[in-house]
Amino acid sequence: MSNQQTETADQQIAAVRQPFELSDELSEKVTALGLEEAVQQVEESGYGYIHDLAPMEFIQRLREVVLDLPSTIPDVGLPVAFNVNMLLHKHPIFEEVVLNPKLLAMAEVMCGKGALLSQLIASVKTKTDAPGDGKGALHADQSFMAAPFPVHNHIATFCWACDEFSERAGSTRLVPGSHEHRRHPNEEEMVTEAGAIHTECPAGSVAFWDGSTWHTGNAPRRIDGKRVVVHVSYSRLALRPVESYDFLGEDWLENKPFEMRVLLGREDFLNTPDGAFADINKIARTQEWAKT
């Protein structure tokens, strides 16, 4: 190795990049895609908006595809009106969703290069006269991470609004600046939702947030029609073990201690072939374990 090469390698090992200190390459991408304002929004307030991701024809098609999918998620009091998950292979349009250049660039800004698809899920919300729709509480999407959260964000969630986002339409409510607490909201904060605002954007745009931003999908819809949303989240690549034993089936695990199942991730809700909602008890357990 020449001296010059050694120096470069050393510099890379020692490199410390603070959140939102973008490489020249990523910075150029952000500019080319017109994402500067969205990057500034999420850095300052923990959330932002992305517009003009695809032609309206694509949004209408996406909405129809979601509405045509059979519901796979039981109504068990989830944080939102999620009705179908594990979407990637269910229709080719979802490949275009997760590969959308603006989403990928923002995922890199927020979760680094090599970010992974974490969850791809849809929700459909309808009008109600009830005070709230009871679908859950204020939370940070890094709900399976211990607080204080690391300086670098680990999850980015993008809600692709196929219908407008407004208070009357039952858009996501969130607390601007709450990402700076670097922790989950406590019980009182979950009740008062102090400082929460409704996200607002036209149909076709994306509202997105940092994994530590407090938000809730519990706002009731007060107008006719449906609120159809595709929720895409990406995570930093590091949230994975080095070796994958996913190929070992239940037959191998038979008669093995519970601790072995835990070590292989079979007793938490992450990285499962049926998605997070296959076993609702595992969500609470994972969140509990993650805080220890």
Ligand X SMILES: O=C(O)CCC(=O)C(=O)O
Residues in contact with ligand X by the rule CB under 6 A: 79-80, 123, 141, 157, 159, 172, 215, 217, 229, 231
Q: Which of 141, 163, 210, 268 binds Fe ion (CB under 5 A)?
A: 141
Shortest distance, position 169 Cβ to ligand X, whole Å: 10
Cβ distance to Fe ion smaller for residue 94 or 208: 208
Shortest distance, position 1 Cβ to ligand X, whole Å: 46
Cβ distance to ligand X smaller for residue 41 or 166: 166
Cβ distance to Fe ion smaller for residue 133 or 141: 141
On whether the CB atoms of residues 80 and 217 are closer than 8 A, the answer is yes
- 204 is in the binding site of which of Fe ion, ligand X, none (Cβ under 5 to 8 A by kind)? none
Shortest distance, position 261 Cβ to ligand X, whole Å: 28
Cβ distance to ligand X smaller for residue 29 or 227: 227
Q: Give the position of tokens 């910075």.
A: 27
- Nearest residue relative to ligand X (C-beta): 217
Lateral strand order in the sheet of 173-174: 197-198, 173-174, 215-216
Report the relative pairing of strands 206-210 and 47-50 from DSSP bridges. antiparallel
- 172 is in the binding site of which of Fe ion, ligand X, none (Cβ under 5 to 8 A by kind)? ligand X
- 226 is in the binding site of which of ligand X, Fe ion, none (Cβ under 5 to 8 A by kind)? none
With CB under 5 A, what is the number of residues at the site for Fe ion?
A: 1
On whether the CB atoms of residues 229 and 122 are closer than 8 A, the answer is yes
Binding site for Fe ion (CB under 5 A): 141
